[in-house]
Amino acid sequence: MQIRVGYELIYECSQATPMILLLNVHFTRASHLVLPDYLVTDPPCPIRAYRDSFGNWCSLIVAPAGLIRITSNALVQDSGMPDVVAPWATQRPVEFLPEEALQFLLASRYCETDRLTTIAWELFANAPTGWGRVKAICDFVHNHLTFGYAHARPTRTAAEAFQERVGVCRDFAHLAIAFCRCMNIPARYCTGYLGDIAVSPVDAPMDFSGWFEAYLDDGWYTFDARHNTPRVGRVLIGQGRDAADVAISTTFGPNILRSFKVWTDEVVAGSVDGPAMSPWAHGRP
């Protein structure tokens, strides 16, 4: 199957403003791009591309004073298969984890393991290790938090989400990540596109989606405490310790986000030459 993905962000800046943008499809999906995800600015401005310490593709621009439109429209080939389910996957002792996974056991900006370790062990000490323990964590977080766009707050941490019992997709991911780390399972935050493919669509504007990956056996597996069911059509953009590492845009000066649109939809046969979606498409955060 093919999925059209893209975005349109319009900022108003009072002065020339540097911006770091993390908007390109992750390099692990680059070979699946049928039409490239070129980042285009209007008015045109120089773009300096680089990879951050996590391997994510980033773009550095200096937005001029006034309005700037940042957009992309790409086509991705996808297997059409849901997230892998591997109940046999085991948990590796910390001393046998690869070095690159160890940093994802540590506390981070939004995942304060020091505040949640005692709670985590009280809740999950008797859960089966490995896949079963991560699944138990996802089940708990899915049931403990109430999802709602009105609950969005960019400063909410995992511990605060646990106490407040509300949040959006990033809060579900942060709490599950923190619990996994407390239980000695490396976990990293993921952001990307996730549309209403193979599920009933929801009539609400889309945002980029947040989920997480846990390290089991010899690799990373996808989990989603917000939806808590395997989904079709995830398109990864970035990975990091938490949402602070994969902000879609980081601006270095005063600005106003005037418009924000994201789309991700399965392409209908014969519609490859044009968008197969409304500008307010069916993706879900």
Give 48 or 275, the one with higher predicted confidence.
48
The per-residue pLDDT for range 184-238, each reduced to its tens digit, is 999 999 999 999 999 987 777 778 999 999 999 999 999 999 999 999 999 999 9
Strand order in the sheet with 209-216: 219-223, 209-216, 187-193, 235-240
* Cis bond upstream, residue 43 (ω within 30): yes
Can you give the chain as a three-state secondary structure string? CEEEEEEEEEEEECCCEEEEECCCCCHHHHHHEEECCCCEEECCCCCEEEECCCCCEEEEEEECCEEEEEEEEEEEECCCCECCCCCCCCCCCHHHCCHHHHHHHCCECCECHHHHHHHHHHHHCCCCCCHHHHHHHHHHHHHHCEECHHHCCCCCCHHHHHHHCEECHHHHHHHHHHHHHHCCCCEEEEEEECCCCCCCCCCCCCCCEEEEEEEECCEEEEECCCCCCCCECCEEEEEECCHHHHCCEEECCCEEEEEEEEEEEECCCCCCCCCCCCCCCCCCC
pLDDT of residue 277: 38
Average confidence (pLDDT) over 162-189: 98
Q: Round to whole Å and give the CA distance between 70 and 38.
A: 10
Confidence band for 271, pLDDT divided at 50, 70 and 90: low
pLDDT of residue 212: 98
Structure tokens at 234: 């995830």
Domains identified in the chain and CATH numbers: 2-80+247-266 (2.60.40.2250), 94-246 (3.10.620.30)
The per-residue pLDDT for range 74-85, each reduced to its tens digit, is 999 999 999 999
Dihedrals phi, psi of 180, to nearest 5 degrees: -60, -45
- Confidence (pTM): 0.92
